[in-house]
Structure 1
């Protein structure tokens, strides 16, 4: 890109701040109209709830803001790259997206979309696509270099279906070819793809792996979405209602950047809300099964005992692993609870605020923001706080 082109892209930042979601909404409508086959690739639930449009608008804005030095965006590029490889996004998809994105910019801006501005954005997109596809090529290469590794979609068999609570059920997924499963880092997710008759579409959804690496199977633990009549909950509810032991599903290889740092014996503090505990369960199982006796504090909140998944497993681990301390909050308890109300870190600050601890938070965006804020306000370094928001990212807490 020339310096003049970079200046033209930077000049669009105020427009993107104010109208970015309008632009990305127009873009997705345009792309799915002209290339409906991509509805099988994208999560249409996130299209209906607006999360994907917002996430893309934030990404385009961040890129425009840092067009002089896009290298500062590599952590974001890495996270998006993991999402893309889990959905089997390939370079040819970037060409389609680029065509529709540039056309959308022109259509939304109207007369303001001068030939010079469009040339600048075309050069900017080519640069971004080169960065992304190059990074994703490296991620794909790492996947196939693993024992039993693969890219794309691979058939797995549901060998066990275990009810963990009134809302959450675990699915034990074994390779259909009877072989081993590729290793993963505790905290990573897999994408699962099913055909939805309601939409006449193949649809992917990403689920955290809820067990430690074992070489034999992946376990996902899925919450039933009550009253879900839109795509956001259709895959989860179809797993609950229609997928039985012996059925076949398709998975992509494990991906994700929200992972346990196993190279340090620093204390670990896990903070979760609802089904947000699933990636943290993988981390907990990995730590308690390792030789190192790492101090662990487990903080979890949910409505009540009936919906509390992995309650018995947690108690068993606490009985056998002396360094595990846990706090459970029920905001609608039906029987006396250890803690009543929403998760309140201030009420257990002596256990939570530890010198040199690593913090892992997972749950809805407001849950993460609240507890992240508490930790920072109490002197915890932001580099020690790791979080994952389910769905397209909307939080930018440690930027």
Structure 2
């Protein structure tokens, strides 16, 4: 365990904040260039986030956030937990951390040149290992906890695709069962699975997909949208069939239902961001909860909206009130289901505030711009932060979302 950071080290780290604001992205881009030169490390990453620049942006924000809060690290608890869960999903191990340290310090020296004095590099070395030890310790707790639970495992486990079905023209669901026939770990509604995929002509790929099935089922279901140019999603849609085997890590993620919360629930989603929420609604339906549930979803059209029949069934049983927004339908027809209303256009902050339930906990998932608009609207209405929860898709490179959730 690293020693606590001394005052001099923390002062030096704080003094580097302006340099990080000016050169942070250049530093993290150079860091990944160095890091990914090692094949064993390169295979741990989602390389699509390197190509579009999202991963360096996300790390630059995290490093800046760490530096700015170096005297109040308790404020970073949420960010640390998200990173630890992500690392567990990707099977990051203690032996991987020295590679990152070498790449990060080398990148700082390369980008800052003579401004990266020995004192600055020494301070950042201490700061890195202080945080690394926190993450390693928390990741061990998660690994050990998962492995000790019924059906839990550590590392990669082979799962067979028992069934696949088209939810829409762009979303396919896959039902996964353990190839070894063993028990299935009961995930928390909202968590995701991480996959080690061997994609022909693209090699080893890492991806995360939210579990869309409710906890307690005899399988995991993921629902994957085809991404334009997406290596993994295109392969899954076009080539992966029933009976195929995929390598899967134990469920992970810190976006899940709070069992201790009895507030009404508002699920606010757009696009494929509905997948973790469908799992949450499935769990609430199983428990026959008395909590009021309001589901709000935005999509281009009804035809491109997955799980509409399931939502209709919940609405018919008076367990869910639903509002669907279709941005490419001028006058969307009502489907006649009591409790379900359709709207033309997108979900707007103004509409959200008009329907605001101050007693509810909001669970938000979708594209970064959508989540930012929704979160900002709720915060502008002075809704407590404890009642605003959201999931990061992709690499979490939106600064306002990352820093507000730290």
In the other structure, the counterpart of 1:246 is 243
- TM-score, scaled to structure 1: 0.94
In the other structure, the counterpart of 2:189 is 186
Contact 1:301 1:328 in 2 (8 A): yes
Cα RMSD (Å): 1.6
In the other structure, the counterpart of 1:89 is 92
In the other structure, the counterpart of 1:342 is 346
In the other structure, the counterpart of 1:314 is 311
How many residue pairs were aligned?
390
1:26 aligns with 2:22: no
In the other structure, the counterpart of 1:324 is 320
C-alpha deviations, 1:48-99, integer Å up to 9, x for none? Answer: 1111101111111111222233232121111100000000000111011111
CA positional deviation for 1:117: 1.8
For the structure 1 residues 331 and 102, does the alpha-carbon distance in structure 2 shift closer, same or farther, using more than 3 Å as the test? same
What does residue range 146-295 of structure 1 map to in structure 2 within 5 Å?
A: 146-199=149-202, 201-226=203-228, 228=229, 233-295=230-292
Which residue of 330, 333, 349 corresponds with 2:329?
Answer: 333
In the other structure, the counterpart of 1:71 is 74
CA distance in 1, matches of 2:132, 2:404: 26
CA distance in 2, matches of 1:138, 1:213: 22
CA positional deviation for 1:345: 5.3
CA distance in 1, matches of 2:332, 2:390: 30
CA positional deviation for 1:329: 0.7
CA distance in 2, matches of 1:375, 1:68: 29
CA distance in 2, matches of 1:4, 1:238: 51
CA positional deviation for 1:215: 4.5
Contact 1:369 1:397 in 2 (8 A): no
CA positional deviation for 1:3: 2.2
C-alpha deviations, 1:263-302, integer Å up to 9, x for none? Answer: 2331100010010000000011111111322110000010
CA distance in 2, matches of 1:397, 1:132: 20
CA distance in 1, matches of 2:323, 2:88: 36
C-alpha deviations, 1:318-366, integer Å up to 9, x for none? Answer: 112x13110011111287332000113534656x422311101100011
Which ranges in structure 1 are unaligned for 5 or more consecutive residues? none
Contact 1:305 1:334 in 2 (8 A): no
- TM-score, scaled to structure 2: 0.92
